[in-house]
A and B are shown apart, each in its own frame.
Chain A
Amino acid sequence: MKKVSIFSAFSIVLLMAVLCSTATAQDNVDIIVNPNNPVSTLTRMEVVQIFKGGKVSWDDGSKIVPVVQEAEVKGFFDLMDMSKRKFDKHWITVALSGGATPPKRVSGDAGAASYVARTKNGIGYVSSGASVSEVKVVKITD
C-alpha cells in the first residue's frame, strides 16, 4: 500500500511538472486586434516583428497600429523574448535613427482593449483571461 501511495504521489508530481512545463508565454498574455480585422492567427515571430516595428502593414497594406501598456505585463515580454528595458531601448534606437516613434502607451488591460476596439488597424495585448469582449483575441502559433 505504501509503495502504491508513493508511486501515485510521484506520478502526480511528475504529471504536474509536465503540465507546468508546457505552459508557454502565450498562456499569460492575449494578443488582441480590432474585431473588424480579418486576422485570426499570428505566428510568434510576426507578433515580435509587429511590436518591434519590423512588420508595419497588414496583408491588405493598411498600416499596423500597435499599442503597449505602461505597466509591465510579464507574459508579453516573455513572448517578445526580451526584457522591458531592452524593448524600450530598442525603440529609443529606432526613433533616434529617424525610424518610427515608439508605440502608443495606454493604461492597463481596459485601456488597451478600448484603444484597439476603436482603432481599425490596432493591435495590443492584455493579461490572459481579461474580460475584453469588444476586441478579438488572435491565436498565436510558433
Chain B
Amino acid sequence: MGKEVTCLLVAAFLAVGLLVSIPAQALEVGLGGEDPVEINLYGYFASRYEKVWDEPGLEDGKTVEEDSPGEWDNPYVNLMGQSRIYDKYRVYFNLSAESAGDVEVRNIWGEYSHSEALNVRIGKMYRKFGIYNEILDAVPTYIGIEPPELFDNDHLILSRLTTVMAWGKRPFGDGTLNYSLSTDNGEGDKDDDTFPLQLDLHYKTGDDKYTIGFSGYHSMGETGSDVDVGDGSPESGVLPWMEEDEFWVAGGYCAANLGNWLFQAAYWHADHDATRDADSVATVINNAAPGLNQNQLDRFLIDPAGGITADNVDTNGDYEVNTWYVRAGYSFDTDYGEIVPYLQWDWYENEETIADKDYGGDNEAGAADDGEFTKGTVGVVYRPMPKLAVKLDASGHFYEFNGDDEWYPEVRLDISWIFGL
C-alpha cells in the first residue's frame, strides 16, 4: 500500500508540473536560439583484457596455484541518449551490450526539474551513492578499471538501481550542498510491503576542489534475494540462501582535486539482520565448489561435525560487511595527451559469503579463510585525446587461504573510444 501511494503522489506531482509548465513554456517556442526540444545520442565502444596468475586453489587439502586463461571482452558498447524537452523535462537512456551480445537497458528515466533545489526522476536509474555509483558506466573518464568493492558485481553490498529519486542542490557558504532521496521496488521483497529508503548528502566547495559526503540505505523491512540459489550473484545485496534479511548500509566518502592531484577515499558498513533458509543452506554446502572452508561451516551449521541437513543449519544469519578504499592519481598534461598514473588500495570483509559465484558467493572474500582480502593496484590512464582512453593496471590480491598468507597477481587492459560528444 505504501509503494502504491508513493507512486500515485509522484505521478500526480509530475502531472501538475506538466500542466502548469507547458502552457508557459509553449509561449517561448520559436524565441531565442535554443530549440525547445533537443536530442543527443552518444556513447562509447570498449574492449577489455584480463589475466590472472597463480590463483590459489585446493587439491586434496593442499594449496595449489593456477593460472586463468586471459579473457578478452571484445567489444562492448554503451549507447546513451538524452532528450531535453523545453527547460523542465529530460529523458535519458543507457543501453549496454557486452561482448556484442544481448542488449541490456541499464537506465531509462524521465525527469522533471522544478528548480535547482528540486528535481524528480522516475524510471530505472543509478542511485546517487558515494562517488562512483552514477559514473561507473562512464568507464573512459575515471581512474581505475575495476569499481570499488562496494559495487563489484560479484559482491554488491546494495542494489545500484533505484526507481524514484528526488534530488537537488542549494548554495551553502562558498560551495553547494547536494542531496537526494530515493526509493525502489524493494528487489526481492517477498511480501511486497517494504519501502526501502536511500539518502545521499554531500558538500562540494565552490571551486570543486573538495567533496565530502554521506550515503545511507535501509531496506525498511525484511526482504529477500533477487536470485535463487544456484543462479549467480545477487544484485540486491541479499544473499540467495537468506529466507529474509533486513539490512542497512551507510558510509562516508571524500575527494580532493588539488592541482593535478586527485585523491579519493570511502568507507562503507552493512549490517544484516538475517534469517537463513535451512534447505537453501544445505543445498549450498552440498553443491558449492570448491566446498566451504571451516569458518564457513562453523557459521552455517549448529554442529560442524554433524551431518549436512536442514535440521543442522543455524538459521541465525546476522552478519556485517565492511569495505574501504583509497585512490590517488596525478594528471600529466603533455603535448601527446593526458597521462594519469594512479594507485588504489581496497579492503573488504564479508564473514557470510562463500567462494562459489554460481551459488551467490565471490571468489575473493569467499575464498579467504576469514572472509577478508585486500587488493593493491597500480595503473596508468593514457588519453591522447579526451575521447580515447587506454588504461592498464595490475593488482595484487592478498588474503589468508588454507591457513597461509597468499597472494596472486592480475593484469587488466581497457581501451575505450567515445562517440557523439
Q: Which residues of A contact B (CB under 8 A)?
A: 45, 48-49, 52, 54-57, 61-63, 65, 81, 83, 85-86, 88-89, 91-93, 95-98, 101-102, 115-116, 118-122
Contacts and interface: CB of A to CB of B under 8 A. Distances in A.
Nearest to A67: B33
B383 interface: yes
Contacts, number: 100
Closest 4 CB pairs of A and B: A96-B138, A119-B33, A93-B141, A63-B87
Contact of A101 (B32, B40, B331): B40
B44 A96 contact: yes
A72 to B, nearest CB: 13
Interface string B18-29: 000000000010
Contacts of B38: 101
Contacts of A86: 331, 333, 338
21 contacts: A45-B174, A45-B207, A49-B206, A56-B116, A57-B115, A61-B115, A65-B32, A85-B333, A85-B383, A93-B141, A96-B80, A96-B418, A97-B138, A98-B107, A101-B40, A101-B421, A116-B33, A118-B32, A119-B33, A120-B31, A122-B33
Interface in B167-210: 174, 176, 204, 206-208
Contacts of A52: 208
Nearest to A61: B115
A112 B80 CA distance: 28
A91 B333 contact: no
A118 B135 contact: no
Given A54-B176, A89-B141, A93-B141, A98 B383 contact: no
Contact of A121 (B34, B176, B333, B387): B34
Nearest to A83: B333
A37 to B, nearest CB: 12
Contacts of B134: 97-98
